[in-house]
Amino acid sequence: MILKIIKFFWPDLSDQEAYKYGLLSLAFFFTVGSYWLLKTLKDGVFFNIVGGEYQPKAKMFSVVVISCLVIIYSKLVDIFKRHKLFYIIGSIYAFFFAIMAFLIGFTVSSDGIINERFMRVTGWTLYFLVESYGSLIVVLFWSFVASISDTFSAKRGYALIMVGAQLGAVIGPFLSWYASILGLRFLFLIATFGIICLMLVIKYFVRVIPREQKLVEETKKNVPVIKKTKTGFWEGLKLLATQPYLFGIFMIVSLYEIVTTIVDYQMKMQAQALPEYSSKEALTSFMGIFGMSTNGLAFFMALLGTGYLIKKFGVRKCLLIFPVCLGFAILMLYFVITSGSVSTHKLLWLTLSVMIIAKGLSYSLNNPVKEILYIPTSKDAKFKTKGWIDAFGARSSKAMGSAFTNMIKHSPKALLHYGTILSLGFIGIWFLIAVVIGRKCHQLTKDGKIIG
């Protein structure tokens, strides 16, 4: 029954591809669903317990934490098989989030079981756990998918993966919307269960998918490689520094993260300033609304538009669609800000709309297209360099955006005005780089060459 539904929306997929990408879609459903649930919980807890004014610093500190974890991750790639990394990393995060579920339900006061100072430390710890989980587990998933896919099947199957991702990303925030009813402790337990389900799906995938469907990487052994260096501990970082193509992908990821970090902080600080979102449950519910709206858009795009756009326009043009749409949305927001004709509530919902476009199109269109860029690369590039790009690169870019917001966080007017101008400038640079990298990917695929 499920296979028939998949074939209805993606008739170009063979039965084997539908089964393969269907299972990967289910795995990504649990990956993204648990992450988005944790993401909304993280913001609600951190802004209420630690304080929203500390978020820029938290993003900057997270670069150091995640850089250390990327080093460990790069080493684990050399030691363990690809699917076993899911079991190792997933088990660690499931354990720590279960502990968070245990702690978050206690009374916080001088007379309570947990005092306020300890809870603030818990809030910081939760922030770093969720940020690192969102980096490492997503990087691992897409590296795994890229290593067992070729460019032609990816164009057909990646949209199916994104449908599962966006369905999970809608359900996670939907649960957060009812944080006041379900309670934060129960929501943490649901997220932990989602991580366990991810590991079980990967285990099933490895057991049932035929060997030839998982050995795409090995079929590329006779393909000419542009550069081949000895694999080592810092191989991913060396490839990033020496291969312009990989550095271009890094810039595409980084510029997007800088822009969304600025707009995201604008939105959250506006929300926190309103009385109705002052508690951690209320702010979690607001973030749930944001998550549902964002991922609802991404879900329908992935279901009805992503596959069509990639097949119709190709990777090069699809890389440009996203920065153009986001730039237009931020430009409209700037005109509204400078006019000064809207209320605080309306401005919050307008900023929310820009973030919905930014995140929705990123998840449904930009991410699958970006992942296709990794297909004409070596295993080291897929796993190690990608780890540096998506984890360290993304976090360092968020830190850059946070450094700017941290300087003007005490002036809401300056935060909105100058933050929007800076975002537009970064989008212009992003567009130019996307043009160059899109052409390079097309040429690599056409010539049958591999980077790294």
At 228 the pLDDT is 45
Phi, psi of 427 (to 5 degrees): -65, -35
At 202 the pLDDT is 92
The two tokens of residue 327 are 């730039």
Phi, psi of 228 (to 5 degrees): -130, 115
70-101 per-position pLDDT tens digit: 778 878 877 888 788 899 999 999 999 999 88
At 436 the pLDDT is 92
At 227 the pLDDT is 47
Q: Which amino acid is at 222?
A: N
Structural domains present in the chain:
11-447 (1.20.1250.20)
Averaged over 418-435, what is the pLDDT? 90
302-327 per-position pLDDT tens digit: 666 677 777 778 888 888 988 998 89
Distance between CA atoms of residues 204 and 200, nearest Å? 6
pLDDT > 90 fraction of the chain, expressed in percent and rounded: 13
Residue 424, Ramachandran bin (φ over 0: left; ψ between -120 and 50: alpha; else beta): alpha
Distance between CA atoms of residues 75 and 55, nearest Å? 30
The two tokens of residue 48 are 């209420």
At 221 the pLDDT is 46
Which of 98-107, 178-187, 262-271 has the least mean pLDDT? Answer: 98-107
At 223 the pLDDT is 45
Q: Is the pLDDT of residue 299 over 50?
A: yes
Cα→Cα distances 234→301, 333, 381, 433, Å: 38, 42, 11, 25
143-153 CB burial, b ≥16 within 10 A, e <16: bbbbbbbeeeb
Indicate the Cα dihedral angle 73, 79, 85, 90, nearest 10°: -60
Averaged over 351-378, what is the pLDDT? 82
Which of 102-116, 259-273, 277-291, 300-314 has the least mean pLDDT? Answer: 102-116
Q: Which of 52, 424, 87, 115 is nearest to 266 (CA)?
A: 52
Q: Is the pLDDT of residue 441 over 80?
A: yes
Question: Which range, 43-57, 137-151, 254-268, has the best average confidence (pLDDT)?
Answer: 254-268
Distance between CA atoms of residues 175 and 173, nearest Å? 5
At 115 the pLDDT is 66
Cβ-contact 101, 193 below 8 angstroms: no
Determine the 3-state secondary structure of 225 from DSSP.
Answer: strand
Q: Which of 285, 284, 122, 97 is nearest to 194 (CA)?
A: 97
Averaged over 115-132, what is the pLDDT? 85
Q: What is the mean pLDDT of the chain?
A: 80
In DSSP terms, 225 is beta-bridged to 450
Which of the two residues, 216 and 123, has the higher pLDDT score? 123
137-156 per-position pLDDT tens digit: 888 888 888 778 776 777 67
Averaged over 279-307, what is the pLDDT? 76
- Confidence band, pLDDT 50/70/90 cuts, at residue 170: confident
Averaged over 318-343, what is the pLDDT? 85
